[in-house]
């Protein structure tokens, strides 16, 4: 597709439910990122993939958060036993270049999934 696609756009979950958020990056983009944006804040880094390898998951807030990109394209962010503090917009971004070669390859963001935990 032309851009990064995320689904669903909106997700309401009851506390304790598991959710799965999908990201379809731009075709051919090597790098994929997940960011979390709380209300009134800027995006915060969660995790980074280079192709299918998850090279950095230092931003994941707890072990309830899990991300995968098994074939190096589509990625899924899973949140288990959701809590109210998980309510946020989850942004996926992709980039053509990998790692440190990103000076001329800025992040292309999707429109995000707004997760509300009730």
Bridge partners (DSSP) listed for residue 4: none
Residue 14 or residue 103: which is nearer to other proteins going by CB? 103
Residue 22 is a binding residue for other proteins (CB under 8 A): no
Q: Give the residue with the Cβ less far from other proteins, 17 or 111.
A: 111
Reduced to 3 states (helix: H, G, I; strand: E, B; else coil), residue 25 is coil
| Site for other proteins, residues 41 to 60, rule: CB under 8 A | 41-45, 48, 56
Burial code (b: 16+ CB inside 10 Å, e: under 16) for 35-71 equals bbbeeeeebeebbbbbeeebeeeeebeeeebbbebee
Cβ closer to other proteins: 83 or 98? Answer: 98
What's the full length of the chain, in residues?
A: 118
Contacts with other proteins by CB under 8 A lie at: 4, 31, 33, 40-45, 48, 56, 91, 93, 95, 98-100, 102-103, 106-112
């Amino acid at each position: 597709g032309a851009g990064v696609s995320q689904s669903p756009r909106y997700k309401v979950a009851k506390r304790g439910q598991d959710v799965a958020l999908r990201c379809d990056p731009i075709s051919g983009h090597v790098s994929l990122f997940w960011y979390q944006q709380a209300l009134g804040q800027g995006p915060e880094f969660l995790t980074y993939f280079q192709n299918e390898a998850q090279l950095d998951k230092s931003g994941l807030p707890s072990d309830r958060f899990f991300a995968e990109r098994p074939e190096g394209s589509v990625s899924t962010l899973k949140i288990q036993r959701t809590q109210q503090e998980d309510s946020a917009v989850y942004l996926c971004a992709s980039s053509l270049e990998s790692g440190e070669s990103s000076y001329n390859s800025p992040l292309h963001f999707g429109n995000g999934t707004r997760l509300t935990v009730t």
